[in-house]
Amino acid sequence: MHNQNKCSSGKYGGKELEYLLEFLDHDNPVNKSKKSWSQRFEESFSEKLKVKYSVAVNSGTSGLHAAMYAANIQPGDEVISPALTVIMDAYAIIHVGAKPVFADINPLTLTIDPNDIERKITSKTKAIIVVSLQGLSADMDHIMKIAEKHQLAVIEDSAQTLLGKYKGRMAGTIGHIGIFSFEAKKHITSGSEGGMIVTNHDELAVRARKFSGIGYRHMSAFAGRTSLAISDVQDPNYLRFDTIGLNYRMSEVQAAVGLAQFERVEELLSKRQQVAKFFDEAIEGCQWMVKQETPRNCEHSYYTYAVRYQGTDNLNVSWKEFYDRYKKLGGDGFYGACMIPYLEPSLNDKEINGATFKRGLCPIAESVQQEIMQFKTNYRDMEVAKKKAEILNTLINKLS
C-alpha cells in the first residue's frame, strides 16, 4: 500500500506529499481551522533562524525586489553589490530605479571585499547588498561597521547559505534585511521556486509584506494578523490598498512543500557538508586546486564546493579540458561561476540609471571568475558522492 506520509524517494523524502494532500482537502473542517501553510512556514522559519519576522515570497529574486522597496531605495540612489554574484542582485537595484555600483571581492573567500565597499561609497550611496557566496557568509561585522558609519541599509542575499553561520549567528539575519531562495537546487526547495525575506525591524517587515502582497493596507509585519471583521471587508466602501505593490506572495502549495523540506533542513545541510569533506580529501595537497577559504569564525553550508582552478598556467591544461577529462572518467559536470553581472549582454556596454557597465570595474572578480569550479554537493547517495570525489582525485594524480 502506498505510504501517503512519504514521497517515494529522492529529494522529497519528508512530509511533502502528506502536506500537499492535506492542503488539497481544503473542505475538511479540521484543515480549515488551521493556520495557512505560508504562515506556518514563516513562523517555523523565524523560530529556527531566531528572527522576529519572515515573509514568504514566490522567489528569491522577488524577495530582493521587495527588500529594495522595504529599504526605501529610490531613483538616483546608489547601491553597492559584489561583482561576483548572480545578476539578479543588479536587476533588483535597477528595477527600483537605483544605480548598481560593483565592489570587488576577496580572492580567498570569494565574497565582497569590505575595503572596496568603503572605497565605492559616495553621497548617493543608500545600501549595500552582501552576498553569502556558495554557502559562505561575508565579513559581516566589518560590513555592518561601515554601514553604521555611513548610515546605509544592509541587504543580505543568502540564497545560497541557509543555516550557514558567521560568529555563531545565522547568515542572512545579521544585516537589516535578508533573503533566502528555495529554487530547486538550493538547500531546501518549495517545489521549484520560492523564497523568504527575514528581518528584525518592524517597518521593514511591513513594507516588504505589503509590497510583495499587492499593497493591502491592513497587512502587518506578521502573516495572518488582522483585527478586521469580515463585515468590514465585505462592505462596498472598504478601502483595500495603500501601497503600490506586486503579487510576489508564496502559494500555499509552495509553502506546504517548503515547510516539509524545512523540517529536514539540518539533515539536508549535513549531507552537503559531508560531500564537501569528500572533496576536501580529493584535492588535499593539490597546489593548483585552491579551495574557497572558510574563516575560522564561519560555518560553511556548501551550496556548492568551490575551488579556483590554476592548472591552466601550472599544467597547461585548460579549464574546459579539465572539465572534459573529469566527465570522461565518470565525474559529474561541474559549474563555472556565473559571469560577472556587468559583463552579461543585458548590461554590458549599456548605460542604465546613470551607470555605465564595462570590463575593468572589478579586476579581481573578473580574473577569479574564470578560474572557479563549482562541484555539486546535493547528492542524496553518499556512496555516489564519494565516488565522484575519488574520480576527481584520480584525475588530479594523473595530471600532477
pLDDT in tens, 175-208: 999 999 999 999 999 999 999 999 999 999 999 9
Residue 292 DSSP label: P
**Cell numbers 500555499: residue:** 252
Q: Domains (ranges, CATH) in the chain? A: 16-264 (3.40.640.10), 266-399 (3.90.1150.10)
pLDDT given for residue 281 in this prediction: 98
pLDDT given for residue 231 in this prediction: 83
pLDDT given for residue 3 in this prediction: 45
Average pLDDT over residues 243-249: 97
Q: Is the pLDDT of residue 378 over 80?
A: yes
Q: Is the pLDDT of residue 5 over 60?
A: no
Measured in degrees and rounded to the nearest 5, phi and psi for residue 16 equal -55, -50
pLDDT band at 227 (very low <50, low <70, confident <90, very high): low
The model carries a pTM of 0.94
Residues 366, 358: contact at Cβ < 8 Å? no
Average pLDDT over residues 250-265: 97
pLDDT given for residue 86 in this prediction: 97
pLDDT given for residue 7 in this prediction: 46
Average pLDDT over residues 273-288: 98
Average pLDDT over residues 83-94: 98
pLDDT given for residue 226 in this prediction: 66
Average pLDDT over residues 91-101: 98
Tell me the three-class secondary structure of 237-272, residue by residue. CCCCECCCCCECECCHHHHHHHHHHHCCHHHHHHHH
Average pLDDT, the chain: 94
Residues 294, 277: contact at Cβ < 8 Å? no
pLDDT band at 8 (very low <50, low <70, confident <90, very high): very low
Measured in degrees and rounded to the nearest 5, phi and psi for residue 237 equal -95, 5
The larger pLDDT score, comparing residue 227 to residue 158, is at: 158
Strand partners, 80: 101, 128
350: CB partners within 8 A, 6+ apart: 356, 357
Q: Is the pLDDT of residue 399 over 80?
A: yes
295-322 tens-digit pLDDT:
999 999 999 999 999 999 999 999 999 9
Q: Is the pLDDT of residue 102 over 80?
A: yes
* Alpha carbons 170 and 285: distance in angstroms, whole number: 31
